[in-house]
Structure 1
Amino acid sequence: MTATPGQPDRVFITGASSGIGAALAREYAARGATLGLVARRRELLASLAASLPGAGRHHIYPLDVTDHAALAAAAQDFIAREGGADIVIASAGISHGTLTERPEDLPVFESVFATNVHAMAATFAPFIAPMKAQAGPRRLVGIGSVAGIRGMRGAGAYCASKAAVHSYCESLRLELRASGIRVVTIAPGYIDTPMTSNNRFPMPFLMNAERFAAQAAAAIARGASYRVLPWQMGFVARLLRLLPNFLFDAVFSRAPTKQRKEPA
């Protein structure tokens, strides 16, 4: 079974229980989509699914995205139930401050990369072959971050993971160019979510999660290769890319740091 152009989308979203993932779920459900929702917290996931328009048509998959076998099984179940997927959004992500000099932070580095980078590839992998056989628009969407554009003090793991997301999605975009599958990278700036609520520094151009989701969905529908949201942070991102290292270092070496994850 393949999707018929004009029918509501079948959308698979990781990190769906809160923040950007939940906002995207609400946006696509309001558009009539059928959703596959992945997150660790079963109660939040079930509550979200029950609150959405067309609650009975959505599927929930309570799992940790670092469990690649469970993630593949969820993908295969969604494909079997819905006959495929039109949009796959790898939104699961975690953020912690890290200091390389602190040995106890090395497992945090590994955890951030496992969730933000490795799980993204594991999310997309089961969908690629079925998508190649489908008709109509098909999208693989990686949620990156403006933090992936330049490294920030005390945020080495998070910045490096998001830089890896951007490069990975670019590589995948080239791999799939001839297939008709569009790979879309969305790079949020500061979005008002639980992830940003503990930031101890100013967050310019802070954006409402619902507004972000609406603009992200529009960019995904267009098949944009790369989009920074909000647009003001796109301008800042371009300036950061152009800033010479000596000036960047002078400005940002005293910037406030992201809160570290305290050892258990």
Structure 2
Amino acid sequence: MHGAVRVFITGASSGIGAALARHYAAQGATLGLLARRGEALDALIATLPNPERHRAYPADVRDHSALQAAAGSFIAHAGGVDIVIANAGISHGTLTDQPEDLAVFEAILATNVTATVATFAPFIPTLRNQRSPARLVGIASVAGIRGLPGASAYSASKAAVISYCESLRLEMRPYGIKVVTIAPGYIDTPMTQRNAYPMPFLMKPERFAEAAASAIARGDSYRVIPWQMGIVAKLLRMLPNALYDLAFARAPHKARKNSHEPS
């Protein structure tokens, strides 16, 4: 999939989303970029090739009516859509025995899971009627492979994205719409820069974007990036619970929201 493709990306103002925007813009794509920070979106678009082609949509992905309006606006502007990337996500440590973390848990699920559904839904009728290849892309995480201590909400949300996209892949198959699940490992973004523990195979967002775009173009059903983390993910899947518990019970915890501002 090359040339003037039409790509809609959520969580596009920084990190993985911005790197994907830069990659696709360099390939001549027309972009619809959605994020909460409108000023950051405008600043990003100003640095992209052919900035007049692209559209910024300042909105919170938990506002489903705003997502629907943005989808309609971008389809009208671009004459359709080829790739929809549900990338928006937040990450905070959560502990079930801390009552104040319940609201954080709900916010993470609303942003990482429900908003993925709400991102794809308004584009599907258009994609069904297009002849060009179409991709719905869910950004999961290796954290969704096995539950991590202190990150119950984030792990659960990304496991849900993986399962949801698998279900959606089967549902979209009759229409020729490819559903691609990308599971990043540690990518050097503002979200991971808060982690106060070692991050193996840390990858620059530009390299991630290139690898992800290749997987999306191929229509891969599931891809872990970087590939080294893919090997780790396969091993984690096979590890018996007793060994997993022994190895990860004392793993470092992700910082809780009360010690950091929202991402």
Q: Please say if 1:102 is aligned against 2:64.
A: no
The correspondence of residues 1-264 of structure 1 with structure 2, limited to 5 A, is 7-262=3-258
- Render the CA deviation track for 1:3-33: whole Å, top value 9, x for unaligned: xx86510000000000000000000000000
Q: Tell me, in whole angstroms, the C-alpha distance in 1 between the residues paired with 2:258 and 2:114.
A: 23
C-alpha contact (below 8 Å) 2:25/2:31 kept by paired residues:
yes
Q: Tell me, in whole angstroms, the C-alpha distance in 2 between the residues paired with 1:7 and 1:92.
A: 25
Q: Tell me, in whole angstroms, the C-alpha distance in 2 between the residues paired with 1:154 and 1:107.
A: 15
Alignment partner of 1:190: what SS?
coil
Code of the aligned partner of 2:36: R
Q: Per-residue deviation at 1:82?
A: 1.2
Q: Per-residue deviation at 1:236?
A: 0.0
Alignment partner of 1:37: what SS?
strand
Code of the aligned partner of 2:12: A
Q: Per-residue deviation at 1:118?
A: 0.4
Q: Tell me, in whole angstroms, the C-alpha distance in 2 between the residues paired with 1:178 and 1:45.
A: 35
C-alpha contact (below 8 Å) 2:3/2:28 kept by paired residues:
no
Code of the aligned partner of 2:244: F
Relative to the length of structure 2, the TM-score reads 0.97
Code of the aligned partner of 2:64: H
Structure 1: where are the runs of 5+ without partners?
A: none
Q: Tell me, in whole angstroms, the C-alpha distance in 2 between the residues paired with 1:131 and 1:143.
A: 19
Q: Tell me, in whole angstroms, the C-alpha distance in 1 between the residues paired with 2:77 and 2:132.
A: 19
Q: Tell me, in whole angstroms, the C-alpha distance in 2 between the residues paired with 1:206 and 1:149.
A: 18
Alignment partner of 2:257: what SS?
coil
Code of the aligned partner of 1:60: A
The alignment of Structure 1 onto Structure 2 pairs a total of residues equal to 260
Q: Tell me, in whole angstroms, the C-alpha distance in 2 between the residues paired with 1:164 and 1:7.
A: 33
Alignment partner of 1:95: what SS?
coil
- C-alpha RMSD over aligned residues: 1.1
Q: Tell me, in whole angstroms, the C-alpha distance in 2 between the residues paired with 1:24 and 1:244.
A: 36
- Render the CA deviation track for 1:157-187: whole Å, top value 9, x for unaligned: 0000000000000000000111010000000
Q: Which runs of 4+ in 1 moved over 3 A?
A: none
Code of the aligned partner of 1:223: G
C-alpha contact (below 8 Å) 2:3/2:27 kept by paired residues:
no
- Render the CA deviation track for 1:67-95: whole Å, top value 9, x for unaligned: 00001000000011111100000000000
C-alpha contact (below 8 Å) 2:7/2:83 kept by paired residues:
yes
Q: Per-residue deviation at 1:51?
A: 0.6
Q: Tell me, in whole angstroms, the C-alpha distance in 2 between the residues paired with 1:153 and 1:200.
A: 15
Q: Tell me, in whole angstroms, the C-alpha distance in 1 between the residues paired with 2:92 and 2:222.
A: 25
Relative to the length of structure 1, the TM-score reads 0.97
Structure 2: where are the runs of 5+ without partners?
A: none
